[in-house]
Amino acid sequence: MTDVDAFDLWIRRLSSAEEPKAALVCFPHAGGSANSFFQFARGFGEFDVYGVQYPGRQDRRREPCRDSVEELAAGIAEQLDGWTDLPVVLLGNSMGALVGFEVALRLEAAGHPPLSLFACGRVAPTLRKDERTHLKSKDDFLREMVELGGMGSELLQDEEIIDIVLPPMRADYRIAEKYCCAPETRVSVPIHVHIGGADPKVTEAEAAGWRQSTTGEYSLDVHEGGHFFFTENGDGLTAAVRRAVDDALSVNA
């Protein structure tokens, strides 16, 4: 049985429905928090929506960041395994897509597979790019964050905030850039991939590699916008999640 205190530490409720048809669990980008999905969650009136709070930030800032995507996913999967009778949908953005994939692997192995996985803004799990953002100097690292849209330029003027947010961001980038799973690693749950057409971190061809990570249904959609396309206009992604859940539930009815 899931420990309530541990569950609340990892999983934060962002919105709830009177009669939810599914539970949507969102995995944030590198350096992100559960509240990164707060606005996005408001677009779902028929789901219970949750955000995952990784160690090393905000109210968990005194905890060490995990040393690998796999280790991070293991801690999350332990909390989500058998936690609800509702169909569970996983949605991850950037590094969160990798974490969501690893969580899906573990939940499926435990006999509680999610209904589907939405992977946003990330190259396929089997694709290892030679990225070394986590090794960049402080100024270069922060400049790249601003260019991606994950940090406002005004934060660069606040050294106190930088000292708080930089360590978990760099730690997350390190585990994401070192991650690569074996080509034969697959889930059977559907994987729906969504990227921004102007995302400098992932091309359509790189995103298409997710097809090899599932034996189930697969789709790829390209939206207007960059790396954080759904923070500017999440209607397309919201509609896609709704549609996939409705389709899956109608098949299983």
- Among 94, 188, 219, 250, the active-site one is 94
Query: Does the annotation mark 94 as catalytic?
Result: yes
Q: What separation, in Å, do the N-terminal and C-terminal C-alpha atoms of the chain show?
A: 28
d(CA 185, CA 32) in angstroms, rounded, equals 26
Which residues, including other chains, have CB under 8 Å from residue 92's CB and lie 6 or more apart?
26, 27, 98, 99, 100, 101, 117, 118, 119, 120, 122
Supply the residues annotated as catalytic: 94
